Amino acid sequence: MDSLLQKDENLLWHPYTQHKKALPCLAITKAEGVYLIDENGNKYIDAISSWWTNLHGHAHAYIAEKIYEQALRLEHVIFAGCTHPPAVQLAEKLLPLLPGNMGKLFYSDNGSTAVEVGIKMAIQYWRNKNENKRNKILAFRHSYHGDTFGAMSISERSVFTLAFDNYLFDVVFIDTPCQKNIHTLIAEIKKQGPETLCFIYEPLVQGAGGMRMYDAMLMDEVLSEIKNHGIICIADEVMTGFGRTGKLFASHYLQKAPDIICISKGLTGGALPMAATACNNKIYEAFLSDDKEKTFFHGHSYTANPLGCAAALASLDLLEKEACKKNIELISLQNRQFVNELLANKNLTGVKNPRSSGTIMAFELQSGDNIYLSNIRDEMISRSLNEGVLIRPLGNTIYIMPPYCITKEELGKVYLVLKKIIDRFGS
């Protein structure tokens, strides 16, 4: 009989994978807490929270119980013309927690679709108001917002988009703010402002672009100028939401709030696929009309899935517990300590830009090959797996983003593995 890996190789096509050269998959058959467990019983610390989704640990009993209870009542119903308690309860609980004065919640399936919804809301907002002079979208360089066509269009042109570049719509890209470029950025925004309909940004941390981190005070200067021109601000908090940067949302570090916010990944604690796009009432009211052409024509088969809503409600319950808040603080503190240790070690000449933001920690290895397709990436993954830790470098950018239930000792083991990788590749 074929093994699980052999069957997988015969049948499946994995994301972001060149199957001609790919490492063998991990055959994961169960998980508990921070650990993934393969078919041979080997355990791996999930140091990247399974693509940044898992907040409270795998197979969490409380989340599983709430999904089970909901499945016995209602597993799904069309959300066009119907509603149900978990969708309403989640909106009631989530909207007051979001940055800004959000008034409505629109459910979808994943980060890319949450972004698509936000961009479509912004575009149609101006159309519904009969203001057709605004036809530009502003975004940051090095941004990544997803793999659907709208999300690709507003992302940095890169290896992710290369095959599709000729099919993407044009976007005006600007740099993330720093002391050297802030005046140039403000001037560019003033130039583009009258024709710009929206600005989309990953607040304070650009994820797939390399865990690039930037300053909150300078970002507020950018957002202040953006808002002076009436441009709709869309915060992509798909990755940064639900405590990843220390605060519940990265936008909570900013004085200027978004008009639209996109969330997914940690929304259900990593249990089920789900996303949401929230907007303030100014946006929503532009769609209220006797003219049916001003309807927001967008939806998904599994919009507001009751099981996903139940998982999200359970995850929010856990996030509100003092123990979870304390764990986020402890992980953030340990990350800062590890970064300071790297910065203080003058012998680590191959380590570049150690940094952290809450539960996210990252640095580069000066390997001479710093693109996503770096040949050293697979070797770093293999070495970490041999030590019982799962990481997934972005080229030569090493990062961790563990579940909040990780212990001091488990996180210490992750750091030890990273030090071994530094010893091997960092000189």
Please write the tens of the pLDDT for every residue from 55-91: 999 999 999 999 999 999 999 999 999 999 999 999 9
Q: Does domain 74-319 have CATH number 3.10.580.10?
A: no
pLDDT of residue 1: 72
Q: For residue 426, what pLDDT band results from cuts at 50, 70 and 90?
A: confident
Say what the pLDDT of residue 163 is: 96
pLDDT for 367: 66
Predicted local distance difference test score (pLDDT) of residue 7 = 95
**Residue with more model confidence, 367 or 335:** 335
Q: Which residues are catalytic?
A: 16, 144, 236, 265
pTM: 0.97
Q: Please write the tens of the pLDDT for every residue from 152-198.
A: 999 999 989 999 999 999 999 999 999 999 999 999 999 999 999 99
Q: What are 86-137's pLDDT values in tens digits? A: 999 999 999 999 999 999 999 999 999 999 999 999 999 999 999 989 999 9
Q: CATH for 4-59+321-425?
A: 3.90.1150.10
pLDDT in tens, 339-385: 999 999 988 989 999 999 999 999 999 765 556 667 788 999 999 99
Per residue in 4-41, pLDDT (tens digit) is 999 999 999 999 999 998 999 999 999 999 999 999 99
Burial of 291 (0-12, 13-18, 19+ CB in 10 A): exposed
Domain boundaries, the chain: 4-59+321-425, 74-319
